[in-house]
């Protein structure tokens, strides 16, 4: 049985909905949400001997790299791959050419463009594995990342009433911000939305 994990950004809509899309497309059993200072330490735990044998595939989404951590990131991902797990890295932040070459060399499936937010890239790549409702998550992410006018995003956003999309994405952004230090809530949020629900379906969502 294939076991999939997703490591994604916890601080904004694009990161949360990237995890939602990966969970929905690949039935990811393990969802881990992190902020930037904890990328390397969390990834290192995934590479630990007692954890790694349980995982067949790891997605890392919406977590941009910097000169400070890219070396460690590539090293740890290389260790994970050498132990038999597949790694897919999906992001829209700047990534230098040397890191792109290094990631591909060690076997990472790299889905990277600065032209579209992470959720749009995930949706566009794996939409055959997703229900039609999943397009909403890509649209909401592009709106909150101010990337709704990009080529792929604009086509997705045009399917929705703009006021509806703005309301839903703003509600979700508020929930994520208000519960930023409540990892249990954020994981439950990913699990709930992956059932193809809207933010307004969350009971008491605006009362948190």
pLDDT digits (tens, 9 = 90+) for 172-195: 999 999 999 999 999 999 999 999
How many CA atoms within 13 Å lie on the side-chain side of 5?
A: 20
What pLDDT is stored for residue 205 in this prediction?
58
133-163 CB burial, b ≥16 within 10 A, e <16:
ebbbbbbbbbbbbebbebebbeebbeebeee
What pLDDT is stored for residue 103 in this prediction?
97
What pLDDT is stored for residue 26 in this prediction?
96
Task: Check pLDDT > 80 for residue 208.
Answer: no
Pair 187, 33: CB distance under 8 Å: yes
Pair 57, 33: CB distance under 8 Å: no
Tell me the CATH number of domain 4-207, given options 3.90.1640, 2.40.30, 3.30.1560, 1.10.1060: 3.90.1640
Order of strands across the sheet that contains 57-61: 30-34, 4-9, 57-61, 86-91, 109-112
Model confidence, pTM: 0.95
Phi/psi of residue 111, nearest 5 degrees: -115, 100
Phi/psi of residue 82, nearest 5 degrees: -65, -20
pLDDT digits (tens, 9 = 90+) for 143-156: 999 999 999 999 99
CA-to-CA dists, residue 71 to 77, 104, 178, angstroms: 10, 14, 33
Q: How many CB atoms lie within 10 A of CB 53?
A: 12
What pLDDT is stored for residue 50 in this prediction?
65
Q: Is 31 helix (H, G, I), strand (E, B) or coil?
A: strand
What pLDDT is stored for residue 55 in this prediction?
82
Report which of 150, 97, 80 is spatially closest to residue 121, judged by C-alpha positions. Answer: 150
What pLDDT is stored for residue 118 in this prediction?
98
């Amino acid at each position: 049985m294939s076991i999939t994990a997703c490591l994604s950004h916890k601080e904004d809509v694009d990161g949360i909905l990237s995890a939602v899309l990966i969970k929905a497309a690949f039935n990811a059993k393990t969802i881990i949400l992190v902020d930037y200072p904890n990328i390397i330490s969390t990834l290192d735990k995934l590479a630990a001997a007692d954890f790694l044998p349980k995982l067949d595939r790891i997605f890392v989404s919406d977590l941009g790299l910097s000169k400070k951590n890219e070396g460690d990131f590539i090293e740890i991902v290389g260790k994970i791959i050498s132990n038999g797990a597949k790694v897919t890295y999906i992001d829209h932040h700047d990534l230098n050419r040397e890191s792109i070459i290094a990631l591909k060399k060690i076997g990472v499936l790299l889905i990277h463009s600065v032209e579209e937010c992470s959720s749009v890239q995930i949706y566009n790549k794996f939409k055959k594995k997703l229900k039609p409702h999943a397009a909403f998550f890509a649209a909401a992410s592009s709106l909150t990342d101010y990337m709704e006018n990009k080529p792929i995003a604009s086509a997705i956003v045009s399917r929705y009433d703009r006021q509806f999309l703005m309301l839903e994405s703003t509600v979700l952004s508020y929930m994520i911000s208000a519960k930023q230090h409540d990892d249990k809530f954020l994981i439950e949020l990913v699990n709930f939305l992956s059932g193809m629900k809207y933010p307004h379906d969350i009971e008491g969502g605006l009362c948190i």
